[in-house]
Structure 1
């Protein structure tokens, strides 16, 4: 019999060691850490300890991620509260940039287009080139990475936060929750000096929630909502 057949036999006949109980005490196995040989019981305990350490490590990782998620949800709550209590629609874009900077520690820029007439001259209004418009329309989930091929880096440039300070970026398309969601009406760009902050392939659930929240707040500025806009 080969090793596989022996293992299959023992699994199929668990009563074997009941009939051959003396084997459990006499079998000696090599210690994986070197040194003396150990009994079968001792080897089993070593295996269980190793598995226990792996489970403890996994549990610690899950708890850390849970705490991190709790912190993100709390920060999203702050963002929601601030923009929902802002009475002037035209003040919302700058407020969003400010809250993201203060609460999330990122440099942020909001640019929207197709705005209502009263807001046509505001700083947050941008007329995107064809490449940016197509990119925003096709961006169904947030983009994260260290490189941006679009000409949007300059949006993050301020006196306090030069564009070169950002080493990783997140781009979120803004869509009207009460209108045409197929076409984006704007783009939220975030930059971080931490090159690991926004990584390609990372989970983007919270960024998606943020996009929905910001889109809803800024939809009051759109031409489609002009009849409801406040000056």
Structure 2
């Protein structure tokens, strides 16, 4: 019999060791962390101890993730309150910049809106954006995270642009249509990376979209 067949047999026939109880006293197996042999009872105790250590480690990770998520949720709440209180276009931009810089440690932020209201001054937020990038924003089902290479957004960060190595791009929508984009940049290539979680970035985009649409209405 092969080893897996023996394992299946013992799983399917737990009464085997009742019928052959003398085997329990005589069986010896290798120690998992050394060359000596130990009894099956000792081996079971070691296996349980190792499993407990793994469970403790996993529990520690889950607690850490929970604490981190609680912290992010508090920061998002503060940002939301600030956005609601902002009564003008400049106030919304200031609130967004302040919270992302101070609470989330995002070093570079740029906002672009496709349509400039007639009674607003020439502001960088209404600078020309290519049709290709607008079309790309339309296709974003979730925020893009990754390199700045090949994106015109790499020039949005002013003097820091040559040093920005990773970015997050969030499409802003109002009533289903895309009205603009938020770009967040970092010199750290691992700050925004492909495959990272984007749920909080999505919520950020929704809050900013609603706030900007309200003050520009």
**Does the pair score TM above 0.5?**
yes
Q: 1:140 to 1:4 in 2, by over 3 A?
A: closer
Q: How does 1:74-223 map to 2 (within 5 A)?
A: 74-106=74-106, 107-119=108-120, 121-157=122-158, 162-176=160-174, 179=175, 181=176, 183-222=177-216
Give secondary structure in 2 for the equivalent of 1:117.
coil
After superposition, give the CA deviation of every residue in 1:180-223 in whole Å (9 maximum; x if it has no partner): x1x3111100012332221111111111111111111111255x
Distance in 1 separating the partners of 2:92 and 2:119: 14
Offset of 1:145 from its aligned partner? Answer: 1.0
Q: 1:5 to 1:122 in 2, by over 3 A?
A: closer
Unaligned runs of 5+ in 2: none
Does the 8 Å CA contact 1:90/1:119 hold for their aligned counterparts?
A: no
Offset of 1:5 from its aligned partner? Answer: 3.0
Offset of 1:22 from its aligned partner? Answer: 2.2
Q: TM-score, normalised by structure 1?
A: 0.86
Does the 8 Å CA contact 1:143/1:200 hold for their aligned counterparts?
A: yes
Give secondary structure in 1 for the equivalent of 2:138.
helix
Q: TM-score, normalised by structure 2?
A: 0.91
Does the 8 Å CA contact 2:111/2:182 hold for their aligned counterparts?
A: yes
Distance in 2 separating the partners of 1:149 and 1:68: 33
Aligned residues: 216
Offset of 1:112 from its aligned partner? Answer: 0.7
Give secondary structure in 2 for the equivalent of 1:116.
coil
Does the 8 Å CA contact 2:112/2:125 hold for their aligned counterparts?
A: yes
After superposition, give the CA deviation of every residue in 1:21-67 in whole Å (9 maximum; x if it has no partner): 22112100011222310110111122222222221221111111111
Specify the alignment match of 1:229 in structure 2. none
Distance in 2 separating the partners of 1:122 and 1:40: 76
Specify the alignment match of 2:46 in structure 1. 46
